[in-house]
Structure 1
Amino acid sequence: MTDYTSLIDAETWAFIERTNSFYPPDTVDYGIERQREIYDRMCREFHAGYPDGITVETTALGTDTHRVPIRIYRPEGTKPLALVLYFHGGGFVVGGLESHDDVCAELCLRTGCTVVSVDYRLVPEHIHPAAFEDAMTAFYWAADTQGLPVVLAGDSAGGNLAAAVAHASRGHPGAPVGQVLIYPGLGGDQTKGSYVTHADAPMLSLRDIDFYRGVRFGGAEPMGDTRAAPLHDTDFSGLPPTVLVTAECDPLSSDGEAYRDAILAAGGKAEWFEEKGLVHGYLRARHTVGRARDSFSRIVEATTALARGEWPY
């Protein structure tokens, strides 16, 4: 058993306890609608508001038969460096434009980039590959119509989608110039690494991961489908410069290391940061936990560098 009393500091424990007061650890045992109600309420309680210096617009992409809602955050009074296409976390089951609203607003202000949050379809109503298809719709819109370099970003399930888009968009004239993946689930080997060491971590356990995976696919996971599990690809060449930021106390952390190694082995650029003592979902703690604040600054710096076409690692 991992001793989290020594790994996790008092600030982070306070964040965990506050989260659990809204979002009980056994929430996966509840029905989907109840899970969404609990998650949405928690996100409202953590919402930090908008910083000054940005404008926000909510609209939708697609056709009359299927629309993909998006929210666009633009820096005021300056030409944006790039367009950051952001995919929210939530296990493909919960989340939307509101759940990561303040994160995207702050990312916009601090990077000087336009940030576009994508409200992709959720499971179980729309099983895989519906979310991926919506992510690609957003990518084609961004790359083909917005006239800015595209940086992909996302946390947890959203990190999975961002990486899937990076793999699928190789060769496109507007292929992403970088990707920033925050504690992503990429389909790693559950028999080793953090999947074993942190199987019972606070905030996200292996049991939670198995639940979300089962709901996502409506049954068995499709093997070899890189739209679902980017680590299952057999070719990691041609991917954009990639920065991975994971939490030490998280079963998914080893996915960051494995993905970095696969890109480096294929001759690409990748950097992995494992944030000591942090837990899955720590973006919501960026104003109350020193370690999370520092990590968010690292995410901002990485996004800004990629938007500028720089590689400082």
Structure 2
Amino acid sequence: MDYDALLDAETQEFIRRTAEYYPDDAVSLSIEEQRQVYDRMCHAFRQSETEGIPSEDLDANGVRVRVYSAGQPTRTVIYIHGGGFVLGGLDSHDDVCSEICAQTGYRVVSIDYRLCPEHRHPAQFEDCWAASEWAADTYGDPIVLAGDSAGATLAACVAHHARGRLQNVLGQVLIYPGFGGDRDQGSYLEHAHAPMLSRADVKFYASIRSLGEEPTDDPTYEPLQDSDFSGLPPTVIITADCDPLRDDGRDYRDRLLEAGGKVCWINEEGLVHGYLRARHSVPRARASFERISLAIEALGQGLWPYD
């Protein structure tokens, strides 16, 4: 794959700068070393535009969360961070959550779920579900679920589990998610050696998460393992075109459409996995982040601007 042709100069510079902190072979490092370089990378890309947004760390049914609020919000966004179920936390996505709060006016609850390998599946799902129930009970507002990468996977798992259990889930916005697609076809092969996330990386994180055989028929692990896609909230899926996970977004869209759901899949050409960190340096990423914020805001208002 000719990424020199597919990616513009700004995106290539973003990839080069990322590699200064988080090398291409980072999965060969120890888990602790991976976390250290990931945290340094997130800090290097941190934006300060919304540092005035108030936030507080709270206990949500035993799960640490960070709550962002400006004014008197009437909607709650539950945001779940990415990092392959191994990396990241409240600080890694602090500026992203602040900006979503500032741009939408909604409260944002960011979840600090337990990480692998110290805590394997279903610990991550259990924490996200517990914190989601807490947010619903504490604030009583309609909810929009959102997340990126592994966090988008978990957000969708929560949406599936929430049917009949959690009221007023208005929608989900899922950013370059992995839903459990076939890793031996499509984008997994086409972009097997993509910058920022390779097929080998995806397989590594899956092995860490499951410790051996991956679960089957378990929609709390991967949404595409569900047998029922009906009754899900309006869904916006945003994928990066140069990403092995890309086709998972398409496949999940197709399942929701077959079940009569309301869903929009936006595939961002010329972008790579992890481009949220490039939203202030790469025009394509900036435009995509605006689409993400608008999607969260629209779903929170019960609007569907995608027909």
Q: Normalising by the residue count of structure 1, what TM-score does the alignment of the two structures yield?
A: 0.96
Whether 2:68 is the aligned partner of 1:69: answer no
Tell me, in whole angstroms, the C-alpha distance in 1 between the residues paired with 2:184 and 2:208. Answer: 21
Maintained 8 Å contact 2:125/2:158: yes
Maintained 8 Å contact 1:160/1:185: yes
Structure 2: unaligned runs, 5 residues or longer:
none
Match of 2:193 in 1: 200
Any residues of structure 2 matched to 1:27-176 within 5 Å, and which? Answer: 27-51=26-50, 54-62=53-61, 67-76=62-71, 79-176=72-169
Alignment partner of 1:177: what SS?
Answer: strand
Deviation at 1:49, TM superposition (A): 1.9
Any residues of structure 2 matched to 1:164-313 within 5 Å, and which? Answer: 164-313=157-306
Maintained 8 Å contact 2:176/2:246: yes
Tell me, in whole angstroms, the C-alpha distance in 1 between the residues paired with 2:168 and 2:185. Answer: 33
Tell me, in whole angstroms, the C-alpha distance in 1 between the residues paired with 2:105 and 2:304. Answer: 17
Amino acid paired to 1:9? D
Deviation at 1:81, TM superposition (A): 3.7
Deviation at 1:246, TM superposition (A): 0.6
Tell me, in whole angstroms, the C-alpha distance in 2 between the residues paired with 1:118 and 1:70. Answer: 5
Maintained 8 Å contact 1:241/1:270: yes
Tell me, in whole angstroms, the C-alpha distance in 1 between the residues paired with 2:248 and 2:50. Answer: 33
Tell me, in whole angstroms, the C-alpha distance in 2 between the residues paired with 1:265 and 1:311. Answer: 19
Tell me, in whole angstroms, the C-alpha distance in 2 between the residues paired with 1:171 and 1:26. Answer: 43
CA offset digits 1:27-60 (Å, max 9, x no partner):
0001000000000011111110251662111112
Deviation at 1:196, TM superposition (A): 1.3
Alignment partner of 1:54: what SS?
Answer: coil
Match of 1:13 in 2: 12
The number of aligned residues is 306
Tell me, in whole angstroms, the C-alpha distance in 2 between the residues paired with 1:220 and 1:52. Answer: 43
Alignment partner of 2:177: what SS?
Answer: coil
Residues 264 and 289 of structure 1: CA distance in aligned 2, closer, same or farther (over 3 Å): same
Identity of aligned residues (%): 58
Maintained 8 Å contact 1:68/1:134: yes
Deviation at 1:139, TM superposition (A): 1.0
Alignment partner of 1:295: what SS?
Answer: helix
Task: Show structure 1 runs of 4+ deviating over 2 A.
Answer: none
CA offset digits 1:115-156 (Å, max 9, x no partner):
010000000000000000000001111122211101000000
Structure 1: unaligned runs, 5 residues or longer:
none
Amino acid paired to 2:73? P
Tell me, in whole angstroms, the C-alpha distance in 1 between the residues paired with 2:45 and 2:54. Answer: 21
Tell me, in whole angstroms, the C-alpha distance in 1 between the residues paired with 2:166 and 2:91. Answer: 32
Amino acid paired to 1:181? L
Q: Provide the aligned C-alpha RMSD in A.
A: 1.0
Amino acid paired to 1:12? T
Amino acid paired to 2:7? I
Maintained 8 Å contact 1:81/1:308: no
Alignment partner of 2:14: what SS?
Answer: helix
Tell me, in whole angstroms, the C-alpha distance in 1 between the residues paired with 2:11 and 2:197. Answer: 14
Tell me, in whole angstroms, the C-alpha distance in 2 between the residues paired with 1:82 and 1:253. Answer: 29
Deviation at 1:10, TM superposition (A): 0.2
Tell me, in whole angstroms, the C-alpha distance in 2 between the residues paired with 1:36 and 1:160. Answer: 20
Amino acid paired to 2:140? G
Alignment partner of 1:75: what SS?
Answer: coil
Maintained 8 Å contact 2:75/2:107: yes
Maintained 8 Å contact 1:56/1:73: yes
CA offset digits 1:187-238 (Å, max 9, x no partner):
0111222111111100000000000000001111011111111011111000
